[in-house]
Amino acid sequence: MSRILHIDASGRTKSSVSRQLSLEVVQKISTPQSTVIYRDVSQNLPFVNDAMIETYFTPEADRNEAQQNSVKLSDVVVEEILNANVLVIGIPIYNFAMPAGFKAWSDLAARVGKTFKYTEKGPVGLLENKKAYVVIASGGTKIDSEIDFLTPWLRQFLGFIGISDIEIIEAGAINYDTDAVENAHSSISLLSS
């Protein structure tokens, strides 16, 4: 049974290409037995602050109530990832990189001892045996071009937390590539449930 975490990051809602395509991926790969958890990261996520950082480095048994509250949302974000075996991420390229809301989500998700650990050889991701489908849409940036700073960052970040099975579905440069969205639909139609 698949447990899908569906994440959308676009600031647009109804007219968002990345949202439409990520939903299409979820519908394509899910079965009647699938569980889908949805998280919209486009608004209202906190940026990491001093109180959160202090709490991250305080053993859980020693945390006071204020500290526990400071990382409550981060704990939920981490739990959602831990419980999923598939992530579907719909994300646009804004100004050559990710929307701020997605960066805030990633900072909540990267937790030492939970999603990665430090070793004598460097950090090691703890989220193995998970698959990520990443739908990337952009108005003018070609995916994986020299001005696309999102796609390599996403591969690095997901690998950092242990997710190496990553499938990119692209709808890049849709403002002038009239086939980009149709090509993305075609890629999605080839996915298996």
User: What digits encode the pLDDT tens for the residues 13-31?
Assistant: 989 999 999 999 999 999 9
pLDDT of residue 185: 85
The CA distance from 137 to 134, in Å, is: 10
| Beta strands in 41-145, from DSSP E residues, in sequence order | 86-92, 116-119, 122-125, 131-137
Band the pLDDT of 192: cuts 50, 70, 90: confident
Mean pLDDT of the chain: 95
Overall number of domains in the chain: 1
- With a cut of 80, say whether residue 140 has pLDDT above it: yes
Residue 142's domain spans which residues? 3-189
Band the pLDDT of 193: cuts 50, 70, 90: low
Q: pLDDT above 70 covers what percent of the chain?
A: 99
Asked if 81 and 129 count as a contact pair (C-beta separation under 8 A), the reply is no
Closest Cα partner for 135 from 29, 42, 4, 19? Answer: 19
Domain of 178: which CATH number? Answer: 3.40.50.360
User: What digits encode the pLDDT tens for the residues 82-137?
Assistant: 999 999 999 999 999 999 999 999 999 999 999 999 999 999 999 999 999 999 99
